Amino acid sequence: MFTIVKKESMADDTVILNEIEAPRIAAKARPGQFVILKANETGERIPLTISDLDAARGTITVIYMVVGKSTALFKTLEEGDAYQDVIGPLGKPTDIEKLGKVVCVGGGTGVAVLFPITRGFKEAGNEVVSIIGARNKDLLILEDKMRAASDTLHVCTDDGSYGHKGFVTEVLKEVLDSQKVDLVVAIGPVPMMKFVSKLTYEYNVKTLVSLNPIMIDGTGMCGGCRVSVGGETRFACVDGPEFDGHKVDYDGLMQRLNAYAKEEKAAYDEYCRLRGI
């Protein structure tokens, strides 16, 4: 059993943070890696990024957005409750090295995935410029942690309720126009990663994105997480989740993410109906 030692609600209660006891994983995990969690006997295996860890306490932190049945079920778990299964650390860690200037771009809950990578690049001696965005001020997460992990932090909201009004790509363009950038890391909704990659391609700046296809085992045995990168089929759980942003087939990824849309919606609606949500 993997006990939740801390639970926090963020972004207007749509995003939840869990600090979970998992000493083996905490001792091993590196930025960019993820875990798979299963709440109970009948539960689904859900991948979430390790957003932070405390090796001394033997805990890892995950931050998830409530989007469907399984994340709604996770949300019912309180401090002291436990996940039945937590598997990890999975995926390849981010290749962190001293490059010079690194721009970290995050959108929505992608910021939770971005944070440990940002901190990693900063600790490796890079100058880190971060750009984070959300639909509005209330949905913005991890602003303080991102600020602490960056040399400069830009904030955007779609509605202008905080920071720059508009998309992260607009701020990124300004940065690319005015400074020499060695690497861009972009993590967030698929369309955001797609547009960031399009932009950085024009500027010829290497770009890493972190993909989130549907996963089952996370160990390379089912092929469900396959994505097309540079025309080749790759398994995101073992070859990724990070790939060269200029080579990813984003449209194919978006289609595959919708594979179960009908079943997922029905399951979520039924779950909410039974619980009067």
Partner 1 sequence: MTGKAAKKEKIPRQPMPEQAADVRRRNFKEVPMGYSPETAITEAKRCLQCKKPACVTGCPVQIDIPGFIQQVAAGDFAAASQTIWGKNTLPAICGRVCPQEIQCEGECILGKKDEPVAIGNLERFVADFSREQDTGELPEKAASTGKKVAVVGSGPSGLTVAGDLLLKGHDVTMLEAFHKPGGVLVYGIPEFRLPKDIVASEVAALERLGLRIECNSVVGRTVSVDELFEEGYDAVYIGVGAGLPKFLNISGENLIGIYSANEYLTRANLMKGYLFPEYDTPLAKGKNVAVLGAGNVAMDSARTAMRLGAEQVRIVYRRSREEMPARAAEIHHAEEEGIEFYLLTNPIRFIGDDEGRVVQMECLQMELGEPDESGRRRPIPIEGSEFLLDCDLAVVAVGASANPLLTQSDPEIQLNRWGYIIADPKTGKTTKKGVWAGGDIVTGQATVILAMGAGRVAADSIHDYLTIGW
* Binding flag, residue 233, ligand FES (CB under 6 A): no
Among the listed residues 5, 72, 82, 216, the single contact to ligand FES using CB under 6 A: 216
* Binding flag, residue 257, ligand FES (CB under 6 A): no
Among the listed residues 145, 173, 206, 256, the single contact to partner 1 using CB under 8 A: 256
What tokens appear for 142 in the block? 């991890």
* Binding flag, residue 252, partner 1 (CB under 8 A): yes
Query: Interface mask (CB under 6 A) for ligand FAD, residues 165-204, using x and -?
Result: ----------------------------------------
Which of ligand FES, ligand FAD, partner 1, none sits in contact with 241, Cβ below 5 to 8 A by type?
A: ligand FAD
* Binding flag, residue 235, ligand FES (CB under 6 A): yes
* Binding residues for ligand FAD (CB under 6 A): 34, 46-49, 63-65, 67-71, 109, 112-113, 212-215, 241, 257, 264, 268
* Binding residues for partner 1 (CB under 8 A): 24-25, 28, 38, 42-45, 69-70, 73, 84-90, 216-224, 226-228, 233, 238, 252, 255-256, 258-260, 263-264, 266-267, 270
